[in-house]
Chains A and B, each alone.
Chain A
Amino acid sequence: MTTQATTVDAAALTKKYKKQSQFSEVWRRLRKNKAAMLGLAIMILLVGLALAAPLIYDYDGDVISQNIKNRLQPPSAAHPFGTDEMGREILARVIWGARTSLSIGFTAVLFALIVGGTLGAISGFYGGIVDNVIMRIMDIFLAVPGTLLAITIAAALGPSTINLIIALSISSVPGFARIVRGSVLTVRDVEYIEAAKAIGASNGRILLQHVIPNSLAPVIVHTTLNVATIILTIAGLSFLGLGISAPTPEWGAMLSSGRTYLRNASYYTMFPGLAIMTTILALNLLGDGLRDALDPRLK
Chain B
Amino acid sequence: MWKYIGRRILALIPVIVGVTLLVYFIMSLAPGDPVKTILGEQATPEAIESLREEMGLNDPIIVQYVRWFGKLLQGDLGLSYKSKDSVSMEIASRIPTTLKLSFSAMTIAILFAIPLGIIAAVKQNSIIDGASMFLALLGVSIPIFWLGLLLILLFSLRLGLLPSAGAQSWKSFILPGIALGFHSMASIARITRSSMLEVIRQDYTRTARAKGLPYRDVIQKHALRNALIPTVTVVGLQMGALLSGSVLTETVFSLPGIGRYMIQSISGRDIPAVLGCIVVFTLTFSVVNLIVDLLYGFIDPRIRAQYS
**Distance between Cα atoms of A146 and B16 in the complex (Å):** 16
Report chain A residues within 8 Å CB of B18: 137, 139-140, 143
What residues on A are CB-neighbors of B32 within 8 Å?
158
Interface check B61, CB cutoff 8 A = no
Question: Secondary structure of the A side of the interface?
Answer: helix
- Contact assessment for B142 and A277 in the assembled complex, using a CB-CB cutoff below 8 Å: yes
A145 located at the interface, meaning its Cβ lies under 8 Å from any Cβ of chain B in the complex: yes
Picked from B140, B143, B150, the residue with its CB within 8 Å of the CB of A276 is: B143
Q: Is A273 an interface residue (CB 8 A)?
A: yes
Question: What are the residues of chain B within 8 A of A90 when measuring CB–CB?
Answer: none
We find that the number of chain B residues with CB closer than 8 angstroms to chain A is: 46
Interface residues in B138-163 by Cβ distance below 8 A to A read: 138, 140-146, 149-150, 152-153, 157
Specify the main secondary structure of chain B where it touches its partner: helix
Digitize A211-232: 1 where CB-to-B-CB distance is under 8 Å, 0 elsewhere. Answer: 0000000000000000010001
Total A residues in contact with B, Cβ cutoff 8 Å: 39
Q: Given A147-B244, A255-B146, A263-B157, answer yes or no on A156-B26 (Cβ-Cβ < 8 Å).
A: yes
B189 interface residue per 8 A CB criterion: no
Contact A140 B15 (CB under 8 A): yes
- Interface pair A277/B19, CB less than 8 Å apart: no
Q: Residues of A contacting B286 with CB < 8 Å? A: 143
Contact A139–B15 (Cβ < 8 Å): yes
Would you list which residues of chain A between 25 and 58 have a CB under 8 Å from chain B?
none
Contact B285 A143 (CB under 8 A): yes
The smallest beta-carbon distance between A289 and chain B, in angstroms, is: 12
Measured in the bound complex, the distance between the Cα atoms of B183 and A147 in whole Å is 14
- On whether the beta carbons of B241 and A273 are closer than 8 Å, the reply is no
Q: Which residue of A157, A240, A280 contacts B251 across the interface (Cβ within 8 Å)? A: A240
A15 within 8 A of B: no
B19 near A145 with CB under 8 A, answer: no
Q: Does B278 contact A (CB under 8 A)?
A: yes
- Asked whether A104 is an interface residue with its Cβ less than 8 Å from the other chain, the reply is no
Contact residues, A117-163 vs B (CB, 8 A) = 136-137, 139-140, 143-148, 151-153, 155-158
- The 8 Å CB contact of B145, one of A152, A239, A266, is A239
Is A269 interfacial (CB-CB < 8 Å)? yes
Is A232 a contact partner of B143 (Cβ separation < 8 A)?
Answer: yes
Contact A148 B142 (CB under 8 A): no
A146 CA to B240 CA, complexed, in Å:
8
Report A72-111 CB contacts with B as 1/0, cut-off 8 Å: 0000000000000000000000000000000000000000
Chain B residue nearest to A274 in the complex (CB): B146
A235 within 8 A of partner (CB): yes
User: What residues on A are CB-neighbors of B58 within 8 Å?
Assistant: none
Assuming the contacts A139-B15, A263-B157, asked whether A145 and B244 have C-beta atoms less than 8 A apart, the reply is: yes
Given known contacts A143-B282, A280-B140, what 9 new A-B pairs fall within 8 Å (CB)? Answer: A143-B19, A145-B241, A148-B244, A148-B278, A152-B27, A152-B278, A156-B266, A277-B143, A299-B194
Q: Which 9 A-B pairs have CB atoms at the shortest separation, nearest pair first?
A: A140-B18, A147-B244, A156-B30, A273-B146, A280-B141, A281-B141, A155-B266, A145-B240, A145-B244
Please report A residues at the B interface, Cβ cutoff 8 Å: 136-137, 139-140, 143-148, 151-153, 155-158, 228, 232, 235-236, 239-240, 252, 255, 259, 262-263, 266, 269, 272-273, 276-277, 280-281, 284-285, 299
